[in-house]
Amino acid sequence: MDILMEYVKAFIVGGLICAIGQVLIDLTKLTPARILVSYVVVGTILGALDWYQPLIDFAGAGATIPLTGFGNTLAKGMRKAIDEDGLLGIFTGGFTACSAGVTAAIIFGLLVALVFKRTDRTRQE
């Protein structure tokens, strides 16, 4: 039963984060790109202040998978690199912390592009 509650909490928190983004799209003139960037910035700020970790402890993947979790990972990586390398860590920490996720996205994107054929649905043939 514990595992089921973990799934429910992840679904609720992740769904709430996505719902906020949808409300912002529907009710404001913000573009989706600006909303996504805002999510990363908010996650970075909350991560830098150590306010995002309690949400991760509560919701697990529901908090780490959305873009706010990416921002939190950037902040954690920078903090760790600053502790280890000093001022240079500001420039290297975020890249080090997120390199596996970015690499996976690039590789899987390439695989999908190789497997599936592109179609242009806007042009009538």
- Tens of pLDDT, residues 37-77: 999 999 999 999 999 999 999 999 999 988 899 999 999 99
Angle at 37 between CA 74 and CA 117, to 5 degrees: 100
Percentage of the chain exceeding pLDDT 90: 74
Q: Average pLDDT, whole number, for the chain?
A: 90
For residues 81 and 92, is the Cβ–Cβ distance under 8 A?
Answer: yes
Q: What is the DSSP letter of 87?
A: G
What is the reported pTM?
0.78
For residues 46 and 62, is the Cβ–Cβ distance under 8 A?
Answer: no
Query: What is the dihedral angle through the alpha carbons of 49, 58, 33, 77, rounded to the nearest 10 degrees?
Result: 50
Amino acid 57: pLDDT: 94
